[in-house]
Structure 1
Amino acid sequence: MSTENKNRKMKKKELVMILVILAVSAVLYAGSRILFSKPPAKVEISVDGTVIETLDLNKDTELTVEGWNGGTNHIVIKDGTVHVTEASCPDKVCVNQGTIR
């Protein structure tokens, strides 16, 4: 076998190896994009452990939620964040928590 034939076989093997590496890399990249992509940004609002609303954080919204014993919370969704602006409870823990991203 001549040196030229050996070089051609070696170049073909190298080319095949490069193509296999590129194909595996593409599959792994696509798989990671699918598996680790962020889910749609949503927030669940619950009263006494029961989910009453599921809202999209990408849509600016304001709503008032009625809770236990006639209490209310005014919730604002703006620019992908959510916060309680007003609450009828005396301690205002939810208002003082601030903005959630």
Structure 2
Amino acid sequence: MNDSEKAIQTVKKTRKNDFILINSLFILFLLMYLAYKIFIALPAVTVQVTVNNKLVAELNLNKDQELTIQEDDSSYNHLVIKDGKIWVDDASCPDKVCITKGKIEYATETIVCAPNKMVITIMGN
């Protein structure tokens, strides 16, 4: 067997090993994602809303509703609950990070509005 044949066999073996490695990592990632969805990210039914570390509302995710949390005349957050998800629809804060967080629905997920000192936390079952 000459040097070129050895080189070709080495390349083929390397491609096979790369294929096995990539597929193994993909399967591992898939299993981790499924485990997260099944065991950790459980849908919840209760939402707690706090402002300045004081509980101001405890809401049911199964009931579609809208609520405006207003601590004073200048700061507010408009919350929407629909189809088992909650999100901030409008807010008086300048950066709007709480709005860009989007919809949350799983236990322990949170939305924070630091300027308005509001925290929305989904509680586990």
- TM-score interval, smaller chain: 0.5 to 0.7
Equivalent-residue separation in structure 2 for 1:58 and 1:91 (angstroms): 29
Equivalent-residue separation in structure 2 for 1:48 and 1:77 (angstroms): 22
In structure 2, what residue type is equivalent to 1:44?
Q
In structure 1, what residue type is equivalent to 2:81?
I
Identity of aligned residues (%): 45
Equivalent-residue separation in structure 1 for 2:43 and 2:89 (angstroms): 26
Structure 1 partner of 2:47: 43
Query: Are 1:84 and 2:88 matched, yes or no?
Result: yes
Classify the secondary structure of the residue corresponding to 2:62. Answer: coil
More helix by share: 1
Equivalent-residue separation in structure 1 for 2:52 and 2:88 (angstroms): 17
The higher relative CO (CA closer than 8 Å, separation ≥ 6) is in 2
Aligned residues of 1:47 and 1:68 also touching (Cα < 8 A): no
Equivalent-residue separation in structure 1 for 2:92 and 2:75 (angstroms): 6
1:82 is displaced (CA, Å) by 0.2
Query: Are 1:54 and 2:86 matched, yes or no?
Result: no
Equivalent-residue separation in structure 2 for 1:68 and 1:93 (angstroms): 20
**CA distance change for structure 1 residues 93 and 40 in 2, over 3 Å: closer, same or farther?**
closer
- Structure 2 residues not aligned, in runs of 5+: 1-41, 106-125
Equivalent-residue separation in structure 2 for 1:94 and 1:67 (angstroms): 16
CA-atom RMSD in angstroms: 2.0
- Compute the TM-score of the two structures, normalised by the length of structure 1: 0.58
Instruction: Specify the structure having the higher radius of gyration (Cα).
Output: 1
In structure 2, what residue type is equivalent to 1:62?
E
Classify the secondary structure of the residue corresponding to 1:94. Answer: helix
- Structure 1 residues not aligned, in runs of 5+: 1-37
- Compute the TM-score of the two structures, normalised by the length of structure 2: 0.47
Matched residues, number: 64
